Amino acid sequence: MIRSVLAILAAACFAAPAAAAVQPFPASFKTQDVRLDGVTLHVRVGGHGPAVLMLHGFGDSGDMWAPLAAVMVADHTVIVPDLRGMGLSSHPDHGYDKKSQGADMLRLLDRLQVRRFDLVTHDIGNMVGYALAAQQPDRVTRWVVMDAPLPGLGHWDDQLKNPKTWHFNFHGPDEERLVKGRERIFLDRFYNELSADPKRIDVATRRHYAVLYARPHAMHDALEQFVAFPADGVDNQAFVARGKLTMPVLAIGGSASYGASLATEIGFAAANVKSAVVQNSGHWLMEEQPAATVAAITGFLAAP
């Protein structure tokens, strides 16, 4: 499986132009806007077989998962939404706490008639994924969690003291005025400082996401994800008080980012955690080292 993954990704890289853009999803995927209670989610669905749900984070949209989706669609039903207020999903005025967004995903899966599923998440997606799994743990078969900790758990307070996370408290009308029209500059800061090599996130990719985050209300809602962190911490502590998750979990960290320490952080919420470190990568694993990241994910999900 891993050899076939590497072959597919290598072929894609050789076929890509020098100024690569965000990889499109395979033509077999269907895109739909699913109306739920209070939100409309932009969702890509393709393939047949066991279901896998992929959740993106800040600075990305569901588009980030295209290289992984292209591999897994061969033998899975792949479901890739944009989180509320991000990408091409709608922009409700509230509901950016991760417990509410986890409920979004559960309602989406009910609408798609999916009961059991694997879960693959990154960044803010980790937080939504944990809230989802903690609310209905019997539905998640395996969880791959990538390069971000969970609010309120483990060493979260140390995370809040990290100078690189100043943006957690960067929100409000004046802050939004500063960023308006400068979305590319704002996002470049994250791509540059949180990567092992900023050149791994190409110009076309940066432009793609800058356009999405410049859409009306998009940056406001992205920042609302951070505003909700204190409430998320309270919710997460209540979830843990009920008991740790028991499904198999793979915690993947970039060698220039969380690395092996991510497994320690996720271990405060889950009892069966394995660690994987992607070398020569920072936070943006799917953009910086897609082949190694996809191989780690598919290898874990395929394990007996």
Could you write out the three-class secondary structure of 37-75? CCEEEEEEEECCCCEEEEECCCCCCHHHHHHHHHHHCCC
pLDDT at 1: 45
For residue 178, give both structure tokens. 């500063």
At position 171, the amino acid (one-letter code) is H
Mean pLDDT over the full length of the chain: 92
At position 224, the amino acid (one-letter code) is E
CA 261 to chain centre: 18
DSSP, collapsed to helix, strand or coil, labels residue 197 as: coil
Phi then psi dihedrals of residue 78, to 5 deg: -105, 125
- CB of 31 closer than 8 Å to CB of 44: yes
Residue recorded with tokens 């039903």? 77
Digit-coded pLDDT (tens) for 40-88: 999 999 999 999 999 999 999 999 999 999 999 999 999 999 999 999 9
- CB of 99 closer than 8 Å to CB of 131: yes
What is the enclosing helix (H) or strand (E) of 194? none
- CA atoms of 217 and 90, how far apart (whole Å): 10
Q: What is the pLDDT along the chain (304 residues), one digit of tens a residue?
A: 444 444 444 444 433 333 457 999 999 999 999 999 999 999 999 999 999 999 999 999 999 999 999 999 999 999 999 999 999 999 999 999 999 999 999 999 999 999 999 999 999 999 999 999 999 999 999 999 999 999 999 999 888 778 777 777 778 888 899 999 999 999 999 999 999 999 999 999 999 999 999 999 999 999 999 999 999 999 999 999 999 999 999 999 999 999 999 999 999 999 999 999 999 999 999 999 999 999 999 999 999 8
pLDDT at 169: 76
Which residues lie closer than 8 Å to 11 by C-beta, 6 or more apart?
A: none
What is the enclosing helix (H) or strand (E) of 275? strand 273-278
DSSP, collapsed to helix, strand or coil, labels residue 28 as: coil
For residue 179, give both structure tokens. 């960023």
- Predicted TM-score (pTM) of the model is 0.92
